[in-house]
Amino acid sequence: MESIGVLMPIPMNSYLEGELEKRFNLFKLWTVPHKAQFLKENADSVRAVIGNSSSGADADLIDALPKLEIVASFSVGIDKVDLKKCKEKGIRVTNTPDVLTEDVADLAIGLMLAVLRRLCESDRFVRSGKWKMGDYKLTTKFTGKTVGIIGLGRIGQAIATRAEAFNCPISYHSRSQKADVKHKYYPTVVELAANCDILVVACPLTEETRHIINREVIDALGPKGVLINIGRGPHVDESELVSALVEGRLGGAGLDVYQNEPEVPEELFGLENVVLLPHVGSATVETRTAMADLVIGNLEAHFLKKPLLTPVV
C-alpha cells in the first residue's frame, strides 16, 4: 500500500505518523509552505485523509481531492468532517469510538473532584508556602451530589457508572428517553440543569447541540452548580459561561474543551473555582495508541476491500 497517498493536515500523534509512514505514502500538510499549491499538485495522489477533533475534511478540502475515498478520524467526534459532502461523493468516514470511553469518563470524574475539592488551588496553596500561615479553606463534598448528564451514549453511561460509585443520583437528557435506563430523564436541558448539582456535557456536537449550554441553562444550574464539559467547546456559549463565573451566578466549572482552541478566555485564569485542561480527555499513551491502531485498521480494511471496523458513513 506504499503508493496510496494519505494526507494528514496537522500533527496528531507520533506513533500514528510512524505507522502510516510504514504502510502508505504519508503527506504531512503542516510541513508544506504553500499548502494550496501542494494540494493542487498532489490532488490525484491523495486517497485518504486523517482527521481529528481539531482538523478534518471540510467541503473545500473534499472538493480539492477528487480521488479521496475515506476520511479516518483520530477521534470519536466527527464534527470537523462534512458528512453531507462525504455522503454525496461516496466517501467513507470512520472514527475511534469505545477505545477512548474510559479515559474521558475518568477525566470527567477527575474534573468534578478537582472543582469541588479545589485540588488545583490547594496544590498552589502548598507550593506557594501559604500553608505555613494557616490551613486552606473548606471546600465542597462530591459524594452524594446529583449528577446530570447531557448525552447518555457510551461516554455518558461510563460517567454515570463512575459517579454512582460515589453515591451520586444520576439524571440525564438526550434526544429521547432510553427504555433500558433506570436514571431519571428530563425532556429539556433547562429542567435537567435545575435538578442537578453537577451538569456534564457528553453529547456529540451537532447543529442542534451547538450552544446547548446557554444563559438559561446556566442560570438554572445556579450559583452552587458546577458545569463539566468534556464534549466540545461549541456546546457552550462561552461568553455566557465566562460572565456567569465572573459574576458568581455559577458555582464552578471543569473544562477540557473550548470554543476556539487553543484560545482560552483569560478571565477564567484567575478563578479558583474553575479547572482548565488542554483538551486531554483521551490523552493517555494507552488510549492514543489504541486510537491510532483503529485508524490504521480502518484504512487497511478499506483499501483491502474488507468491512470497515468503525464506519460512520
Q: Which active-site residues does the annotation give?
A: 232, 261, 279
Assess contact for 104 and 230: CB atoms under 8 A.
Answer: yes
Instruction: Kindly report the number of other CB atoms within 10 A of residue 286's CB atom.
Output: 11
The kind and range of the H/E element at 295 are helix 285-303
| Whether 257 contacts 107, CB under 8 Å | no
Q: How far apart (Å, rounded) are the C-alpha atoms in residues 254 and 177?
A: 27
Residues 290, 29, 263: CA angle, nearest 5 degrees? 75
In whole angstroms, give the CA distance from residue 74 to residue 232: 15
Query: What are the angstrom distances between the C-alpha of 121 and each of 101, 108, 114, 254, 265?
Result: 28, 18, 9, 13, 19
Between the alpha carbon of residue 196 and those of residues 72, 228, 232, the distances in Å are 37, 12, 21
* 3-state secondary structure (DSSP) of residue 22: helix
Q: Are 291 and 103 a contacting pair, CB within 8 Å?
A: no
- Secondary structure of residue 138 in the 3-state scheme: coil
Instruction: Give the chain's length.
Output: 313
Q: What nine digits make up the cell of 120? A: 488545583
Partner residues linked to 253 by β-bridges:
227, 274
